[in-house]
Each structure stands twice: as structure tokens, then as C-alpha cells.
């Protein structure tokens, strides 16, 4: 089959623009595959994945999977990457679903989704939003060892136990200044410059903080370092 690569128990079907998992893929490989890579396709549904009952690793990066994704029971799955899909808010449904169908899950990555709030996805998000997100995910999935290619620390685990249930990340509300600007658009002209530099007669410098979260050129979260690889 064109595009299919099999190496031992590893099966790859990458970049084939398939909208669903081919039936023959499950029929031919489902009984022995332990690692399945379906990256760079057009998947909106995971129907057909039930043929791969022995999966330990599942790579679904760069697809079109959304909040309604459903996985079959995969009791041996320990690694799941869903980077760059269409997963948004709210997260609880997905996390509760994963807790039920993937009880052995230890490595999860959601980078590049709206549900994973960092400045690479939205300029409205910052490091604090990402920390709250991690805390909430670890509250729902306490057995995770890695989240988004970052090792889960003991401090994070303890914080998730105490405060994780209250750490949902929400969209920021409009400030009173924003409301005033929308009410009187003719009096509030847009400018990309800081307020202190809008007057031509003002020569004061403007200082501020800018925080970035950088995950590396190729770090989409589907490469984890485990103890047995050191």
C-alpha cells in the first residue's frame, strides 16, 4: 500500500491526505502494531482505530481533529501526541475521556491547539496561562510524566493535587478601557506604539516586559526522553 511504512511493530501512514483511517490499514496492521503514526493527514475522526487494540504509542500531529474526538479503549497506550489539531475549549471533556479510555497514559502533547494556551497560538496568552493549563491537565491526568514535551515536576504534581480543579484557562474579558474605545471609536485611534510615546513632544523611553515560551524548531512534543533511553 502506497505511503505505508512498517518496521517491526511500528506502523507509519504519514502525509496521505486521508480523511479517515483506511479500513485495510487496521485489517493488515492492527493486530501487531504497537506504535502508529498518522501525522500530516486530514483526519477529523478516529473511527477505525479500534482495530489497533495493542497500541502503546499514537501520533496524530497535524490533522483536523476537534473537541469531539473519540478514542476506543486503549489500555496499553502510554504516549499520545495531538499537536497542531483543532482542539479548543473546554478541555475537561477530552481529559475525562482520556482518563477513561487510556488509563496507562504517561506522555501527552497538545501543542499548537487553542486548548494549549501559549504565545505560539495566541498573543493574548502568556506564561501564567500555560502554567494554569498544566496544573488543570495534571489534576485530570495525575499519572502523566511528560506534558507537551516537558517533564512533569514534583512541585507541579503537588500543586495540581491542591489547586488543579480551579485552574481552568478562560478567555480574557474586555477591560473598561477596551469598552470605552469601542463606544467612542472616533476618539480612540489605534496605534501600535505605547501610550507614553504617542506625543511627538514626549522623549521618555517606555519599558515593559515581554515573555515568550519557546519549544524549539522541531519540538512538537512527539519526541520524549524516557529513562530507558538514557
**Model confidence over 142-201: pLDDT tens digits?**
999 999 989 999 999 988 888 766 566 554 444 444 434 444 344 444 444 444 444 444
- 53: containing domain: 4-171+208-213
> Mean pLDDT over residues 9-15, rounded?
97
d(CA 73, CA 67) in angstroms, rounded, equals 18
Q: Residue 48: its pLDDT value, please?
A: 94
Instruction: Name the percent of the chain lying above pLDDT 70.
Output: 67
d(CA 41, CA 199) in angstroms, rounded, equals 51
Q: Residue 161: its pLDDT value, please?
A: 87
- Predicted confidence band of residue 217 (pLDDT cuts 50, 70, 90): very low
Number of domains in the chain: 1
Q: Residue 224: its pLDDT value, please?
A: 56
> Mean pLDDT over residues 58-87, rounded?
96
Strand partners, 59: 37, 81
With 50 as the cut, is the pLDDT of residue 29 above it? Answer: yes
Q: Domain for residue 229, yes or no? A: no
d(CA 40, CA 63) in angstroms, rounded, equals 6
Q: Domain for residue 202, yes or no? A: no
Average pLDDT, the chain: 79
With 50 as the cut, is the pLDDT of residue 26 above it? Answer: yes
Q: Grid coordinates standing for 151?
A: 517533564
Q: Domain for residue 75, yes or no? A: yes
Q: Domain for residue 84, yes or no? A: yes
Q: Domain for residue 183, yes or no? A: no
- Predicted confidence band of residue 9 (pLDDT cuts 50, 70, 90): very high
Q: Domain for residue 223, yes or no? A: no
Q: Domain for residue 189, yes or no? A: no
- Predicted confidence band of residue 127 (pLDDT cuts 50, 70, 90): confident
**Angle at CA 143, nearest 5°, toward 146 and 75?**
105
- CB distance 36 to 18 below 8 Å: no
> Mean pLDDT over residues 28-37, rounded?
97
- CB distance 106 to 228 below 8 Å: no
Q: Residue 164: its pLDDT value, please?
A: 60
**113-124, pLDDT tens digit by residue?**
999 987 666 656
Q: Residue 81: its pLDDT value, please?
A: 98
Residue 123's domain is classified under what CATH number?
A: 3.80.10.10
Amino acid at each position: 500500500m502506497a505511503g505505508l511504512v512498517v518496521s517491526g511493530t511500528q506502523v507509519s501512514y504519514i502525509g496521505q491526505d486521508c480523511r479517515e483511517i483506511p479500513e485495510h490499514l487496521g485489517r493488515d496492521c492492527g493486530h501487531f502494531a504497537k506504535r502508529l503514526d498518522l501525522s500530516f493527514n486530514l483526519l477529523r475522526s478516529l473511527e477505525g482505530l479500534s482495530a489497533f487494540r495493542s497500541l502503546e504509542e499514537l501520533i496524530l500531529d497535524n490533522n483536523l481533529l476537534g473537541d469531539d474526538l473519540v478514542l476506543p479503549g486503549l489500555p496499553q497506550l502510554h504516549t499520545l501526541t495531538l499537536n497542531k489539531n483543532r482542539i479548543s475549549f473546554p478541555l475537561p471533556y477530552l481529559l475525562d475521556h482520556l482518563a477513561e479510555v487510556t488509563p496507562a497514559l504517561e506522555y501527552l502533547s497538545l501543542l499548537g491547539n487553542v486548548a494549549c494556551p501559549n504565545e505560539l497560538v495566541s498573543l493574548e496568552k502568556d506564561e501564567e496561562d500555560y502554567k494554569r493549563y498544566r496544573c488543570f491537565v495534571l489534576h485530570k491526568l495525575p499519572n502523566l510524566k511528560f506534558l507537551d514535551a516537558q517533564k512533569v515536576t514534583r512541585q507541579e504534581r503537588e500543586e495540581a493535587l491542591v489547586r488543579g480543579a480551579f485552574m481552568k484557562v478562560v478567555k480574557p474579558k474586555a477591560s473598561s478601557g477596551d469598552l470605552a474605545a469601542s463606544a467612542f471609536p472616533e476618539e480612540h485611534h489605534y496605534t501600535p506604539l505605547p501610550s507614553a510615546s504617542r506625543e511627538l513632544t514626549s522623549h521618555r523611553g517606555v519599558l515593559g516586559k515581554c515573555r515568550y515560551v519557546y519549544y524549539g524548531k522541531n519540538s512538537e512534543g512527539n519526541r520524549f526522553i524516557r529513562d530507558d533511553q538514557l
